[in-house]
Every structure is written in C-alpha cells, then in structure tokens.
Amino acid sequence: MTISGSFEAIHVDFLVLGAGVAGLRAARQLADRGTVLLVAKDAVAESNTHYAQGGIAVAMDGDADVALHLEDTVAAGDGLVFRPAAEALVNDGPLRVAELIGWGARFDREGGEWMRTREGAHSRARILHAFGDATGAEMGRALREQVRTHHQVRIAERQMAVALRQQDGRVVGADLLDENGQVHNVRAKATLLATGGAGQIYCETTNPTVATGDGIALALHAGAELADMEFYQFHPTALHLAGAPRFLLSEALRGEGAQLVNERGERFMRRYHSLLELAPRDVVARAIVQESLAGDFDHQQKIYLDMRSAPGIVWSERFPTISAELARYGLSLSKDRIPVYPAAHYLMGGVRTDLAGRTTVPGLYAAGEVAATGVHGANRLASNSLLEGLVFGARAAEAMLADSELLPALSKDVIFDSEATRKAAAEEDLRFAAECTPRMQQMLWSAAGLFREEATMRRALAELETMAAELQQRCRACMPWREGLEAMSITVVGRAVLECALARKESRGAHARLDHPKKLPEYENRHTLFSLAQRVHFERW
C-alpha cells in the first residue's frame, strides 16, 4: 500500500522489524558487521517471546539425543515437516543455546545440573526453563542486554512498519509509523521480518495485542509467497474465565503431572489418545472441545486442569508467574481446579523462506513465527518455538551478511517521496475499524478455528472480502493510522488462512475439516503456497 506523511530519512545497513527472540538474535549478529535499526511495534520487551512460559526444547546430550529430538519433531508435524528444516533446528540448537547461556541467560539448575522437563509429544525430558515459567522473558532479557549495549544498534520502540520499499525488484527498506503519527523512511541493504505471529485474527488467543500479522501482510503486498497458512496451533490450556484474558497455562504443568478433567471430575484424555495429557497439542485441544460438548449436560460443560494430585511439587515455586496471575482471580494451583479452553497460540505457516531466511523477494528475509520453513509441519512440537527463533534468527543474519557483501553501497541521496498529504482518519473511520476488528476475530474463530467446513469458511471469506474492500478504501484516503492498518492486516492474514484451509480437503495436524475428516496420503508433504499473483497452489517439498 502506498502511504503518505512527513518523512525523516534513516540509513542503516540492516533493518530488523520485530524484537522477539528471532529479531534480537539476528540484530546481535548483524551489528558486528554493520549498523542495525531494530524496530519494536510496542515496548521492546512486548512480544510473544516475553510470554513464552514452558521453556526451550533442546537436545544437550549428544548425537543420539539430537536424533531423537528430530524424530519427535517430525512425528508431531503429522506428515508435513520439511525434514531438512527440522535437521537444521535440532542440529544448530545446542550451539545456539550454549551461546545464549554464555551471554548470561539463566536457565534453572538443580544440584549443578540443568533442570529439564517433559512436554506433549516429547519422548524424553529435554525442556530447559528459567525462573520456573518465565523462560521467554529471561531469554529476551539476555538478548536485549547484548543488543542494547552494542554501539552499532539503534532501537526504535512503538513504531509500526506500514510498507516495504522496493527498488528494481528488491526490498531496500521500509516506512515506519511512530506513535505521534509521523512516517519515517528507512533505507537498508537487507530487511528482516521478525514480526511474530497473528493470533489477533482470532477472538480467543494467548497472543499480545501487537500480534496482528503485519509482517505477513507486508510481505504479501511486496510480492512474497506464503506457505501453510491453514495451520494455526491452538494451545489446549488457556485460562477460561469470563472477563479474564486468555492467559496461557503452560504445557509444562501437564508435564509435571497436571490432569485434564471434566465437570464430573473424570480424567477424560484416555478416551482420545494413549499419551493422555501429553498427546500432541492438536489432539489435546480438539479433545477438550469434544469433551465439553459430550455427555447429558444441558450446557457446554467446563473443562479443568487439576494439579492437586501431582506429587511433591510446590506449585507457587515451580510456576511463580502462573501462580501470581491466577491469584488475581482467587485461584490457586495447589487448591483449585483451573478452568481451561483452547486459544489460538502459534502460526505454523507464514512467509515462505529457505533455510537461511531468504524469502521469494530479494532483499527481504524472515525468521521466527512470521516465517514458514516447514520446520513445524502441521503441528508444532511443544517448546520448539523459542529454539526456532534462536536458530533461524542466526541463519537469517548470516545470509543477510553474505548477500549484502555482493551489493553496492546504498546511495544516501535517494529518499522516497511522500504523496500529497491526505486527511487524517476521521471519527467514522476509527469507529469502522473498531467495529470491524472484533467482528472479523469472532468470524475467523468460528469459521477457521479448531473445526472447519467449507460452507462456513466460504461465508466468512465473502464477508471478510467485503470488509477488506471498505477498509482499504478508507486507508487509502487517510494518513497512515495504526488501527486501520492493523484491521487491514487481519483481513489479509484471515483471507490467506481461509483460502488455504479451503484448498486442503483433508484433516491433518491443527487443520481439522468436519467435511473432510480423514488424513489423505496424497497430501503428505504437500504444502499450500499462497501469493497475490497465484492465490493457492500445492507444492511438494
């Protein structure tokens, strides 16, 4: 989208959009070889990384452990994992985690040894955690310290990327909208999208409010290809209280012995999977929904996470963050059953990249949740997300450095001009975006949530396209405004999810079709690709 406004030109070697683990790790490496602008949409600590509780999955016990981590990752991905990507993840993982520890990350120890837990679909305990349930926050802290103290890094907080700039078919920077409504043009030899996921396309999500899929929308408009957008992971256990945010209740709780029970107090997972509460996330999430609708109740029964029978654990010490959040609502892990229900958590698809973070558009790279390497397949293995950010953030940085050496220096006298100044968004524009967003979120939750069928998805797609056309008209007529652009991002990501979900006429991993309930062999290792030029097609990786 073409935008207007007052421009201040900024020139750097590398532009990193997003300040989660992938963006921070890339910025740290890039800064040793050039100037870096690291852009955070909110405060630099506000990202999905900060809210990651359970831990980071990493094989620290040699080749056999690495091989087992690979097989667990492939098995959880339900026939869609791109094996070379998974190999890169598990092979690079121990080195990247050791590097992070060397930078001051404080993972929990007991008796001088790393404390390791087990989570769903893992064949052994390999999850490192920090301060009980604050792993992402601690990893982010250690990486931010590395970046903040580097003289070649400049951090821009509360700035939203609103357009990618291209010259001769190559991305050469971006336009940023600051909190005062001013637009700044950034020129860079290489641009990294590390903008995270898009949980805010759904009304039920564990993601922070910044996760509106902006990076995916930017890449798509720049001509990039998306992959596997139908695969959104719904975390099985988010706090489910009226009026409370859908706070994540870590899978590590189940790894420590917490059980899922229905209103009768029955432990029901034995009816759905042999691994019980430690089955893959897609299985557990759907089981919770099915159980809530089962039985002779005249209402949708509540589902609870019950920790009371787990032996020998002081829950407030093992999970201090979760305990403190529950205390706000008068709940205690040691005394109460905690009401839970699935919520949108993690996008397995995203902007298609190779194993070095290169997208299908020159000059544009992506890493972390915004990217689709095929590493997670149809269902992400628990706690592989933080590892993905570390591993592929480093790989993207390496590619950006190598590719930029082949480019001539950017001319500092080239500044993209703005159009004639347009009107500010009027009250009616603000109101329209404010009304559209929750409507779209509820619609996508109903049509493209845990269970899907063609008729519902097609109705949602038609309604979404109508809202998108009106939003686009208003955004084109106005100066850039965050609420309108975020609503536009939701329409773009939502349409990609729906179109890819309609194309995959089977059920696999996190994608469950009521009208196509079987997993079909012809879709094995076939990935959905989506672009503005070609819409949806399949490709075997």
User: Any idea which residues carry the catalytic annotation?
Assistant: 281
Cα(325)–Cα(340) distance, integer angstroms: 14
* Closest by Cα among 10, 48, 52, 13 to 363: 13
**Alpha helix ranges (H) inside 250-382:** 251-255, 281-293, 315-318, 320-327
In contact, 449 and 418? CB cutoff 8 Å: no
Provide CB contacts within 8 A for 428, sequence distance 6+: none
Cα(380)–Cα(75) distance, integer angstroms: 10
Q: Which residues of 311-323 are buried (b: 16+ CB within 10 A; e: fewer)?
A: eebebbebbebbb
Tokens found for residue 193: 């999208």
Cα(453)–Cα(455) distance, integer angstroms: 6
CA separation, residue 219 to residues 158, 160, 350 (Å) = 20, 14, 10
Task: Provide the CA 83 distance to its chain's centre, in angstroms.
Answer: 20
Angle among Cα 231, 234, 238 to the nearest 5 degrees reads 165
Tokens found for residue 9: 């030109």
SS3 percent helix, strand, coil of the chain, rounded to 5, is 35, 20, 45
Sign of CA dihedral 82, 223, 511, 49: positive
Cα(418)–Cα(388) distance, integer angstroms: 37
